[in-house]
Amino acid sequence: TPRPQAVCCKDHEHCCPWGYTCNVVAQSCEKRRPREPPAPTPLQGARSVPAAPVPCDTAHACPSGQKCCAGPHGSWGCCPFAEGSCCSDGRHCCPAGSLCALGSCRPLRWDVA
């Protein structure tokens, strides 16, 4: 059964809901200690160099291995994660495999494309 924000187990057959870890030997999900999801990472300023490896627009770019994120009022920021996701606030981003949600980086749901 699909579970929101599920964590896939190493046996590739089972999953556990967010906040639980897989115990493959016991074939069970065990509750993790309470822990807040990681906070989004602040964006770094985009450079005014159009020839940089990752162009944002004709006048701004980010270093190789980073991602351009549109900021407020037409500005640009650089996310240090090449495959990261830009937050809607235009000031933060989350690592690959997660999305910004309610001020934290939440894992992507495996059951949603």
pLDDT tens column, 45-87 = 766 654 557 888 888 888 888 999 998 888 899 999 888 899 9
* Domain extents in the chain: 1-33, 54-107
What lies within 8 Å, CB to CB, of 108 at 6+ separation is 97, 98, 99
CATH architecture of structural domain 54-107: Ribbon (2.10)
- Answer whether 0.85 is exceeded by the pTM: no
Q: Rounded distance, CA 86 to CA 15, Å? A: 27
